[in-house]
Amino acid sequence: MKTTHQVMLDIGGQTLDGTVLTPAKLTPGVLFIHGWGGCQDQDLLRAEEIAQLGCVCFTFDLRGHARHDEDRNRVTRSDGLADVIAAYDFLVAQPGVDASAIAVVGTSYGGYLATLLTAERPVAWLALRVPALYPDADWDVPKALLDRGTINRYRNHFRSGHQDRALAACERFTGDVLIVESERDDYVPHATISSFMAAFRCTRSLNYRVLKGADHALRDETHRRKYNTLLINWIEEMVREIRRAS
């Protein structure tokens, strides 16, 4: 299906009649959210490849990161969520972006923020690599000042949406989900991944993958390539399905 409209072009005192034909299908959008201490550069290669699938991709630096690194000790989780909402709204406002076909790809802290975003804005597809959890308490305390021991103890126990704001958002999410765990993750333990897996009980689909031998940051190029391939294939499948349906 396509839309058409008639136009007239004025050229050198002459009027030319024309017809513009525009595809009816809008373009899916993909928002990337990097982890704490990271930057958008880590997602650019993935974004470039996914853009070739016919998606509009948007990467950005959370406040307190990249060239604003000196502000990191003042950034709260509330600030992070506000950044993510603003980034989402910017992406959806781009010409031709299909607001009903938005994917969010979050890593670690970015995965945590991505789940919170789903409670504020419509998201069709959610890809989480090593998603982190944090206690709801001290929401407005700068994230860099949160007690690391408290966070580690929190992550090492199974949690539910009754205890955790991010998991509560996951329990209400009805789109498609991809969760990727690193086998040798020393920041996000399996108990945290299990909490996320259990929370996604209303999803259209749930895919879970483990990167064998990988650490939290994917320092090894081989593991990065495997994740890139996994993510791109999943996004391609989601895009193909929505285009068939339309």
pLDDT digits (tens, 9 = 90+) for 113-156: 999 999 999 999 999 999 999 999 999 999 999 999 999 999 99
pLDDT in tens, 96-109: 899 999 999 999 99
| Extended strands (E) in the chain | 2-11, 14-23, 27-33, 56-58, 97-107, 125-129, 176-182, 205-211
Give a yes or no: residue 202 inside a domain. Answer: yes
Q: If you search the block for the tokens 């958002």, which residue do you land on?
A: 169
Q: Could you list the residue range(s) of the whole structural domain that residue 90 is in? A: 26-245
Degrees (nearest 5) of the Cα angle 105, 111, 112? 150
Q: Is residue 12 part of a domain?
A: no
- Going by C-alpha positions, the residue among 105, 89, 107 that lies closest to residue 97 is 89
Residue 3 counted as domain residue: no
In a domain? residue 172: yes
Tell me the pLDDT tens digit for each residue of 122-133: 999 999 999 999
Distances (CA, A) of 178 to 44, 135, 187, 202, 238: 19, 23, 19, 14, 11
3-state secondary structure of 229: helix
Number of domains in the chain: 1
Burial of 171 (0-12, 13-18, 19+ CB in 10 A): middle
- Cα(96)–Cα(93) distance, integer angstroms: 9
User: Do 104 and 43 form a contact (C-beta atoms < 8 A)?
Assistant: no
Asked, for residue 6, whether it belongs to a domain, the answer is no
What are 141's two structure tokens?
């305390």
> Block means of pLDDT (10 residues each) for the chain, length 246 residues?
65 67 74 94 93 92 89 93 95 91 98 98 98 97 97 97 96 98 98 98 98 98 97 96 82
Tokens of 18: 């024309």
Average pLDDT over the chain reads 92
Provide long-range contacts, Cβ within 8 A and 24+ apart, for 142-149: 142/73, 142/74, 142/75, 142/76, 143/36, 143/75, 143/76, 143/77, 143/80, 143/109, 144/64, 144/72, 144/73, 144/75, 145/73
Q: What is the CATH number of the domain that holds 113?
A: 3.40.50.1820
| Predicted pLDDT of residue 172 | 98
Per-residue model confidence (pLDDT) at position 1: 46
